[in-house]
Structure 1
Amino acid sequence: MSTPHQKVRRTRAADREEPRRRADAERSIAAIVAAALDCFRQDPQVSMTAVAAAAGVSRVTLYAHFPSREALLDAVLEHSVAEADAALQAQGLDEGPADEAFSRLVRSGWRILERHAFLLAASEGVISPARRRTHHRKVLARVERILVRGQTEGVFRTDLPLEWLVTTFYSLLHAAAAEADARHLKVKSIPDILDRTLSSILRAAADS
C-alpha cells in the first residue's frame, strides 16, 4: 500500500510530466503540419505514410494527432490561412483611401493564393467548399472592413449586399486560380485582371 508521501511524490512527478507531454505533442503537430504542407505542394495526392516519413514520425503518431486525411488537410489549411492573414496584416490595409487599400488587398491576396493554390487540389473532395470558406473568415473579415470603409468614403457601391460583395471577391480569386491551373489565363496577368474586374464591380453603381 502506498504511503501518503509516496502518493504526493507521484502526483508531483505527474504534474511535471504533463507539460513535457504537451510540449512534445505540440512539436510533433507542428512538424507534421509543416511536412504536410511541403508534401501537398509536391503532390496533392501524397499518402499519409509519406507525410509521416517526411515529418520524422511514425504512422501511429501521425494518426494519433490527425486520425484522417481530412483532419490533416483541415490543420494545414488553418495554418496556411493564418500565414496569409499575417501577410495581409503587414500590407497596411487600414491605411489610406479604401479603394487604394482594396487594390493592395487584391494583388497581395492573389500572390498568397497563388503560392497555396496546390491546397485547392489537395482538399478537393476532402474538405467541403463551405469548410474551406470558414477557414478564410479572418481574411474575409479584412475584405469586409475595407468594403465598409469604401462605402463610407463614397467610393464603393452600396446597392448590393455587403456579404455578396465579399463572396464575389472570394469567388473570383479562386476562379482565377482555377483558370491559371487550366492555362486559360497567364499567371503574370492575373493581378491586373482581378484588380480591374473587382474595382469595376465595386464602382459600377457609382459610375452609372
Structure 2
Amino acid sequence: MPTAASGRRRRADAERSIARIVSAARESLSRDPNASIDDIAKAAGVGRMTLYGHFRNRAELVEAALTDALRAGDEVLSAVDLTGDARAALTRLLESSWSLVAESTALLTAAQGTLPPGRIRNLHAAPAERVEELIRRGQDQGVFRTDLPITWLVGVLQFVLHGAAEENRTGRLKPEDTARVVIATVQSILAVPSAEG
C-alpha cells in the first residue's frame, strides 16, 4: 500500500522531471524554434513516454517553455528600479530587458507557429503593462510623446527589442553595442517631437 511519503517522493520526482523538460525546451527552442519533441526529450535526458506523461503535445510544451521564460524575465525586470525620471527608468529597464528578449524571440517564433495569437498576447500581458505604465508616467512628466496611441508605442518598443535580438543573433549587431543602440532608438522614438517652426 503506497504511503504518504512515497506519494510525496513521486510528486517531487515528477516536478524535477517537468523542470528538466521545460528547461531543455527553453534551451532547445531558443536555439531552434523548430526543435522536435525528440530533440527536447534527448536534451532533457528523458524518453518520449516520460515527456508525453507530462505534456500531451508540442503546443503544451512550447507554452510551458515560453511561460517559464517570461516568469524568469519578470523576476529580473521586477527588480529594476523604475522610480524617478521616466527616461532614466526606461534606460534601466531596456538595459535589463534586451537580453531577455533575445532568448524569448526564438521561443516566440515557436509559439507563433503553435499557439493561438490571443494566448500569446495573454502571456505577454504583464511585461507589456509594465512598459505601458512607464510610458504613461513619462507622458505625465512631459518627457514622452503623447501624439501617438500608447499601445502603438509599446508595440514599437517590442518590435525594436525583437529586431535587436535578431540583429544580434545574425552578428550584424555586436552584443556589447546592443543595449546602447536599443536605448538610443527607443528614447528617440518616445521623445517629445520638437514644435514645427
- Report the TM-score range of the alignment, normalised by the length of the smaller protein: 0.7 to 0.9
DSSP 3-state at the match of 1:156: coil
Match of 2:151 among 159, 163, 188: 163
1:155 and 1:48 mapped to 2: Cα distance?
Answer: 48
1:147 and 1:42 mapped to 2: Cα distance?
Answer: 32
Contact map agreement 2:66 2:104 (CA 8 A) in 1: no
1:153 maps to which residue?
Answer: 141
1:53 and 1:194 mapped to 2: Cα distance?
Answer: 36
2:123 and 2:107 mapped to 1: Cα distance?
Answer: 12
Match of 1:70 among 55, 59, 62: 59
Normalising by structure 2, report the TM-score.
0.82
CA-to-partner distance for each residue in 1:15-43, whole Å, 9 max, x for gaps? 87765554443332212101222333444
2:105 and 2:153 mapped to 1: Cα distance?
Answer: 22
How far 1:82 sits from its partner (Å)? 0.7
DSSP 3-state at the match of 1:80: helix
Q: Structure 1 residues 178 and 127, CA, compared in 2 at 3 Å: closer, same or farther?
A: farther
1:109 maps to which residue?
Answer: 97
**What count of residue pairs does the alignment treat as equivalent?**
195
| Segment drifting more, 184-193 vs 146-155 | 184-193
Q: Structure 1 residues 84 and 152, CA, compared in 2 at 3 Å: closer, same or farther?
A: same
Q: Are residues 1:79 and 2:43 paired?
A: no
How far 1:149 sits from its partner (Å)? 1.4
Q: Structure 1 residues 124 and 161, CA, compared in 2 at 3 Å: closer, same or farther?
A: closer
Q: Structure 1 residues 177 and 133, CA, compared in 2 at 3 Å: closer, same or farther?
A: farther
2:186 maps to which residue?
Answer: 198
How far 1:124 sits from its partner (Å)? 5.1
DSSP 3-state at the match of 2:191: helix
2:94 and 2:51 mapped to 1: Cα distance?
Answer: 36
CA-to-partner distance for each residue in 1:83-116, whole Å, 9 max, x for gaps? 11111111112x2211100111122111222244
Q: Which amino acid aligns with 1:65?
A: H
Structure 2: runs of 5+ lacking an equivalent: none
1:32 and 1:17 mapped to 2: Cα distance?
Answer: 22
DSSP 3-state at the match of 1:25: helix
Q: Which amino acid aligns with 1:168?
A: V
1:173 and 1:23 mapped to 2: Cα distance?
Answer: 37
DSSP 3-state at the match of 2:192: helix
User: Superposition RMSD on alpha carbons, in Å?
Assistant: 2.6
Identity %: 41
1:7 maps to which residue?
Answer: none
Normalising by structure 1, report the TM-score.
0.78
Q: Which amino acid aligns with 1:39?
A: S
